[in-house]
Amino acid sequence: MEIKKMIAALLGGLVVLGGAAYASEPPPDGAPASVSVRVYLTEGALPVDDPNSSAWDSVAASEFNLAPQVHWPNRLQEATVKSVKVRGLHNEQDIAILVEYQDPSEDAADAAALEFMVGDKKAHFAHGQEMLRVEGGPVNIWYWKKENGKAIDMSAQGLDLEGPKKLRPQEEKFQNVKATGVWSDGTWKVVFSRALQTGEEQDAQIEPGNWTSVAFAFWDGQLVDGVVKEKGSQKAVSSWWYIRAEPPPDNSIFGYVVMGLLIAAAFEFFLVRKIRKGQSA
């Protein structure tokens, strides 16, 4: 009986070890909204062309609060989009990110963007602008607009307050991002997709298991008195949050389980044999 208890305890310890191997906890959450996007691992093709695909129904959403951009001209005092729900899937080669948000009207100038920090150099969420205690590192922006119905892969390192334009589309040969948007009953759903890793230094490289900084921006393109309501720096924005693509399962834990069973069996054999020798003596 004692031997069986020892074996159970050993296996219990291995199960705990296995749980730690699969842990996928986000950074500490001190805010009422989400702080991270969990990009779930799946098999096969991703629903990159269909924001309404049933594949998204089983993916848990993270929700992020947004605010009007008031730091730099031209400022916006009140933004249409107040929050965004984000879902993610990947298949170890490609990633698809679905953003869902409320916008009462479908307009040609409606737009959405995802922004990623590139490399280890800290950057402000406003195009990588240099700020107090922030170096102003490069950022990679995936931008979609209803008017042309496609995504543009962009790079930036600072705002265009003075001097040459710092926000720029990447060269055609480096355009890796795709997007599809669908509007219905006051809600936009837009799917952005790309390879997890492109090998290009100006792109965010998404490594499963690693945390990456991400921010969101949205524009309401409704015409008000003949003028687009939100454009350029006039937009709803978030600060930096986190995104993490799930790593593939670590099957090495099963090797530890087998090893533990073999050790326990050997120990039981040795103990029983010793007891029998003692009894025969």
Which CATH number covers residue 122?
2.60.40.1190
Is the link from the previous residue into 65 a cis peptide, with omega within 30 of 0?
Answer: no
pLDDT score, position 85: 98
pLDDT score, position 166: 86
pLDDT score, position 190: 98
pLDDT score, position 34: 86
Lowest mean pLDDT among 163-172, 182-191, 230-239: 163-172
Mean pLDDT of 229-241: 95
**CA distance to 72, 151, 173, 207, per residue, from 95 (Å):** 32, 15, 20, 11
15 and 106 in a single domain? The answer is no
136 and 209 in a single domain? The answer is yes
Res. 59: pLDDT tops 60 = yes
pLDDT score, position 64: 97
pTM over 0.75? The answer is: yes
The proportion of the chain whose per-residue pLDDT surpasses 90, expressed as a percent, equals 63
**CA dist., res. 265 & res. 27, Å (int):** 41
38 and 132 in a single domain? The answer is yes
Domains identified in the chain, total number = 2
Lowest mean pLDDT among 16-20, 92-96, 228-232: 16-20
pLDDT tens digits, residue range 171-194? 999 999 999 999 999 999 999 999
pLDDT score, position 136: 82
pLDDT score, position 255: 53
154 and 53 in a single domain? The answer is yes
The domain containing residue 98 runs over which residues? Answer: 33-245
259 and 236 in a single domain? The answer is no
69 and 206 in a single domain? The answer is yes
Q: Where do runs of H (alpha helix) occur along the chain? A: 2-22, 252-280
**CA distance to 22, 31, 100, 141, per residue, from 246 (Å):** 9, 23, 21, 22
pLDDT score, position 114: 98
